[in-house]
Amino acid sequence: MLQEMLQQISPLDSAAMETARQHWDAIAKPLHSLGRLEDLVVQLAGITGTANLPPRKKAVLIFCADNGIVEEGVSQTGQEVTLAVAKSMARKGSSVCKMAQSIGAETIPVDIGINSEESIPGVLDRKVRPGTRNFLKEPTMTEEETVRAIVTGIELVRECKEKGYGILATGEMGIGNTTTSSAVTAALLQCEAEEVTGRGAGLTDQGLTRKQQVVRTALETYDLWHADAFTVLQTVGGLDIAGLTGMCIGGALWHIPIVLDGVISMAAALVAERLFPGVREYLIPSHQGKEPAAVKLADALQLSPVIHAGMALGEGTGAVMMFTLLDMAMSIYGQSATFSEIEVEQYRR
């Protein structure tokens, strides 16, 4: 099924992008004076296939899942926190929910792998399994589980499009997922564990050393520096990362812009791009987080984050901030006076 999807991913619409560029140049302001924001609006035109870009219904898909590697002492808290925060998201009480509400965006928490059999009203139940396995003992997921999680992300994008959403942001919640994302990143970029493994939610020096050791051991045990992207994801990834991988692929399949959050979703984006080259063109970067993997992932994806604020909150908070910046850019793109309207000669490139 996944290989069949590869043939359905097309390049961005170059004609729509050129029309968008010409429209920017016609607006009464210095050429390219909004910098990266202008480029991103042009990219939106290419993704959606039209330079006519009205306001779009927005949502954050928040993939919630637990990680078996927490057994190894790589986080400050236990798996019970994942469930607690998911419940807060269901009540619209978490940080990303408050931020999204302030700009009229919806938050959609998804249980793709919380280690609990409890049904949470307000959380979409798409559980593949109750948490992953401990990758120091065995691969985190089976091949079938990995595919199911990826397909879940793809299908959620399709469902959102059918409900009228025109742009989506990546969100996640799962204790231990900076360990899984570090392992995935180190393997795909063929670098040392210490180069990409950070403190996550605030580990001590001793905790960071332990976390780096865990990642390094996994890379060596499974020889992941020489593995393909799917094997890396299945072996040391998380259900949240797999779901986000599918979300990135779904954006390319259904021509929905996907705004990336921090290192978790960027690691997933790199998996998606390795599986299906061309997916990256459908992805919008938001912020450069504090984790050491952030710069390397952005470079590998050839994406340039706009927000540099030292953020490390996760949940999709940086992506929601990017929604606001895109809306502001769109307010100029769609409503500002042109040179012809103010009877001034247009600037030339």
Active site residues: 315
Coil vs helix vs strand at 165 = strand
Residue count of the chain: 349
> Is residue 260 exposed (0-12), middle (13-18) or buried (19+ Cβ within 10 Å)?
buried
Q: What is the DSSP letter of 68?
A: G
Q: What angle do CA 171, 120, 117 make, to 5 degrees?
A: 105
The Cα–Cα gap between 261 and 285 comes to 7
The Cα–Cα gap between 159 and 337 comes to 37
Other CB atoms within a 10 A radius of the CB of residue 147 amount to: 18
Distances, alpha carbon 64 to alpha carbons 75, 165, 200, in Å:
16, 21, 16
Tokens of 155: 């299908």
How far does CA 141 lie from the centroid of its chain?
Answer: 20
**DSSP H helices in 76-142:** 80-90, 95-102
Backbone angles phi, psi at 67, to 5 degrees: -125, 125
